[in-house]
Structure 1
Amino acid sequence: MPEIAYFLATTDHPISQTHPWWNRPLPTSRLDQTGPSGPLDATAITYGSYFQAVSRFCAASRWQRVLQAASHKMEQPLSEEDLERVTIFLEKHGSFYHPARIEVTARKKRISLVANVATTAAGRKNVLREARALQQLNEQRPFGWVPTVYAMDMDEDGLPMFLGDWFDGFHEFHLTVKNVAIEPRIVVWDGKADPCLLSENQEAVLYRNMAMILTACYDPVTTQQIFPWHHAAGDFVVRLEKERTAVKLITVRGYRPMNCTGATPTNENEMLDMLQAFFLHLTLRMRLDRIDGVSEIAWAPDRCLTPVIEGFFQGLDLTARLSGFPEAFPRFFCQYLKQQGKTDLRDRAAEITKRVFDRHSEEHQIIEANLAHHIDAVSRLLTGWPA
């Protein structure tokens, strides 16, 4: 049997049954990161029960889940005797999941996995849907953009979770404000004392890749799309390698038709109309984040729009080819967008905002305040876009 160890985020913070937090409840969201305080809730998931549940999940059936995943990632068959050490880290507190990073050492090699543990009501309601969505996307878009799901089960304490890929070297990023006199910039949460601020070129690559992934996963025929997604929740992660900026999407809470009834477009006009709605929603949501991931809602600067539109058309080219569309379809849709009047685009964007965002939310308010300028900028960019 491999050696098992538990840690809070890093090896500098080991935790065991003697730790003062072992019997304390987990925070319920990323906005509550100050640590446990106040009276104990007997019904809450504690740190101790969390680590024990993840450990049981991994060790079940003589470690078969971990062995299957590790064999896949190491590209060689492994047995229980090959496992040397399993280290479980509590990475962060989310409104859906409390992800555990699992370091597996076997045959002197080390790989990383993730157990997404649904500790909240929202997470438990969504966990099976997410696992299925990830499996579907990996089958339809096998480009390594999202994690592979290796196993899913319900712990004996009633905690559902699934085992997937952990993307080593990838980190969260968020808009930040270092100087109130300048526009927000993107900072990468790489664990360093002095976080990495992206250059404008790196930001552009990041926005382009995110828009490309989301659009390439949109199906114009069925209107299936990845939704919801949020920058503030850290759905995308980035790895910086010199001039290369690699992007992954670590969670897919849903993959379903744009129309809540499941109805698909019945003709070309309906298909173009729904693709336009996807495009406008993409440009709006790409601009939303929280300052440093946990503070007030932030609106990304106009400079993000050019790479977002570039990424959209790159993704549209790929998804159109996968759907059997003519090679000229992205150019055709570009002309379709150009023919829309600015007023029509603004009205459609306002309609989408009303339908998608709660009218009392910060997101809705900041979109309303910036919508006219946003559509002016998008319309101006489209006018000069290559045909």
Structure 2
Amino acid sequence: MPETFHYFVGHPPVPLRPGDTQWDTPIPYHRAATPGGIDKDDTCVTYGHYFTAVQAFLAADDLALPKYAIGRCRAGAACRQPQSIDIHLVKHGALYHPSRVTLAITGGPPLPLAVNVAVGNAGRERLSDEVRHLTHLCSAFPERYVPCVFGAGEGATRRLPSLPMFAVQWLDDYHEYHRTARDGSEAERRLVWDAERGPWCLSDRQTTDLFRRMVFILTYYFDPRTLAAIMEWHHAAGDFIVKADPDGAIDVRLITVRRYAPMLQLPADASPSVQTILDALALFLLRTTLWMRIDRLEGVGELVWAEDRWVAPMWEGFVQGIAAMAQVHRLPGVFEEGTLRYLAAHEPHDWERIGYQILDSYPAALPEALIIKHHLVDHIACLAAAVRSASAFGALSQQRPVTDRVE
């Protein structure tokens, strides 16, 4: 293999070379699995197969993808030919095994990329859709809260079928986080998995901003013309990542879009009425805030339910997201006001009806459905109180009618 490629595993990264024992060891199929644990329909892939495939993907067509990424991200680079390429396998996910790929650039700082590799069948089935969703969201929306795709394809191995994969921008200094019980305290804490400075916990203020920003991102990407929304995200999978600046202010990104689909089905070639959009937003709000409260301890442990105090920040994120989404789609100025007043008019029994529709759409034995069912009524009480709060409407003028249809 070319000496310009180097391979690493673990945290901190440890070099791995052909001939090392681990090179011929099967990789785990997700981080909760035992090493070498695979699904019965999956092909056994070793670390060597994995790194060989990623290298082939990057080296194709005379390093076309790395050169393209350098051209997009380092416009002033004197040379687009990377001096060397480090491939660091960083995680064993349920769908992908991502690597941090570092391109060494002459006369400038190195450029990190993320390469998501579908090793198992579940990832193979989702990969093309995810590439399509990410590409659409990055091109259709002016603000980017999801990573941009640099390219997709396959990497060949010597004895196994090619592994499909795609490359996106690596979001430096952003990290996965999860509910934790490491300190032995009963207090609700979220541990940020920071490999550079070590793990650290979000403060209450940061957690408030976290929930507000996460709901804002999902609402921003709601499409009122198609009723499409980002779905099937999960905190336990590390789908949202967080970054803190030196002053403690945080920023949030969503690193995966497994599904982007209509919340409600529309007749072919039909534009939704305003009433249909409002109904979809009510469904979106309740569904999003319910799932927002679910995580697993340490990312792989038992399901846990977030405290009531985070519901109000979720509502604030939704309100801010509605304003940003309306601006993107050039909706009438009264759209935001009409949406908030429509939701405020919902009684608890209206929300409960929507909640049970949501539950009916899940498999009865789904663990998340069971915890949602247990907390549904209490969650609705918290959400209804937030929606009806006077502060939510302090900036609104007197009610004006919304138009009948969004063109």
TM-score calculated relative to the size of structure 2? 0.88
SS of corresponding position for 1:347: helix
Counterparts in 2 of 1:162 and 1:12: CA distance versus 1, 3 Å = closer
Distance in 2 (alpha carbons) for counterparts of 1:122 and 1:78:
41
Gaps of 5+ in 1: none
SS of corresponding position for 1:145: coil
Aligned residue runs from structure 1 range 186-205, under 5 A: 186-191=190-195, 195-205=199-209
Distance in 1 (alpha carbons) for counterparts of 2:341 and 2:42:
60
Please name the residue that 1:358 is paired with: 363
SS of corresponding position for 1:84: coil
Distance in 1 (alpha carbons) for counterparts of 2:75 and 2:267:
39
Q: Is the contact between residue 208 and residue 309 of structure 1 (CA under 8 Å) also seen in structure 2?
A: yes
- Letter aligned with residue 323 of structure 2: D
Q: Is the contact between residue 265 and residue 271 of structure 1 (CA under 8 Å) also seen in structure 2?
A: no
- State the Cα distance separating 1:87 from its structure 2 match: 0.3
Distance in 2 (alpha carbons) for counterparts of 1:303 and 1:164:
35
Q: 2:226 aligns with which of 199, 222, 225?
A: 222
Counterparts in 2 of 1:372 and 1:262: CA distance versus 1, 3 Å = same
2:165 aligned with 1:161, yes or no? yes
Q: Is the contact between residue 147 and residue 166 of structure 1 (CA under 8 Å) also seen in structure 2?
A: yes
Distance in 2 (alpha carbons) for counterparts of 1:116 and 1:122:
13
- State the Cα distance separating 1:265 from its structure 2 match: 6.0
2:19 aligned with 1:18, yes or no? yes
Q: 1:211 aligns with which of 215, 218, 228?
A: 215
Please name the residue that 2:352 is paired with: 346
Counterparts in 2 of 1:195 and 1:114: CA distance versus 1, 3 Å = same
Please name the residue that 2:318 is paired with: 312
Cα offsets for 1:306-344 (capped at 9, x unmatched): 111111111111111222222232222111111111112
Please name the residue that 1:336 is paired with: 342
- State the Cα distance separating 1:260 from its structure 2 match: 5.7
2:253 aligned with 1:248, yes or no? yes
Q: 1:280 aligns with which of 277, 282, 286?
A: 286
2:66 aligned with 1:62, yes or no? no
Q: Which deviates more from structure 2 when the two are superposed, residues 69-78 or residues 229-238?
A: 69-78
- State the Cα distance separating 1:195 from its structure 2 match: 1.9
Distance in 1 (alpha carbons) for counterparts of 2:166 and 2:347:
46
- State the Cα distance separating 1:262 from its structure 2 match: 7.3
2:25 aligned with 1:46, yes or no? no
SS of corresponding position for 1:21: helix
2:171 aligned with 1:170, yes or no? no
- Letter aligned with residue 107 of structure 1: T
Counterparts in 2 of 1:192 and 1:166: CA distance versus 1, 3 Å = closer
- State the Cα distance separating 1:42 from its structure 2 match: 10
Please name the residue that 1:372 is paired with: 377
Distance in 2 (alpha carbons) for counterparts of 1:6 and 1:13:
8
Q: Is the contact between residue 185 and residue 198 of structure 1 (CA under 8 Å) also seen in structure 2?
A: yes
Q: Which deviates more from structure 2 when the two are superposed, residues 297-306 or residues 183-192?
A: 183-192
Cα offsets for 1:206-225 (capped at 9, x unmatched): 11111111000001221111
Distance in 2 (alpha carbons) for counterparts of 1:366 and 1:189:
26
Q: Is the contact between residue 77 and residue 106 of structure 2 (CA under 8 Å) also seen in structure 1?
A: no
SS of corresponding position for 1:173: strand
SS of corresponding position for 1:106: coil
Cα offsets for 1:168-197 (capped at 9, x unmatched): 111001112246663422110102685211
- State the Cα distance separating 1:60 from its structure 2 match: 1.1
Please name the residue that 2:299 is paired with: 293
2:94 aligned with 1:95, yes or no? yes
- State the Cα distance separating 1:67 from its structure 2 match: 0.9
- Letter aligned with residue 4 of structure 2: E
2:309 aligned with 1:303, yes or no? yes
- Letter aligned with residue 252 of structure 2: V
- Letter aligned with residue 366 of structure 1: I
Please name the residue that 1:83 is paired with: 82
SS of corresponding position for 1:114: strand
Q: Which deviates more from structure 2 when the two are superposed, residues 42-51 or residues 95-104?
A: 42-51
Distance in 2 (alpha carbons) for counterparts of 1:214 and 1:107:
38
Distance in 2 (alpha carbons) for counterparts of 1:100 and 1:262:
42
- Letter aligned with residue 25 of structure 2: R
Distance in 2 (alpha carbons) for counterparts of 1:193 and 1:77:
29
Identity of aligned residues (%): 34
Please name the residue that 2:112 is paired with: 112
Q: Is the contact between residue 183 and residue 301 of structure 1 (CA under 8 Å) also seen in structure 2?
A: no
Counterparts in 2 of 1:333 and 1:117: CA distance versus 1, 3 Å = same
Gaps of 5+ in 2: 394-407
- Letter aligned with residue 206 of structure 1: L
Please name the residue that 1:141 is paired with: 141
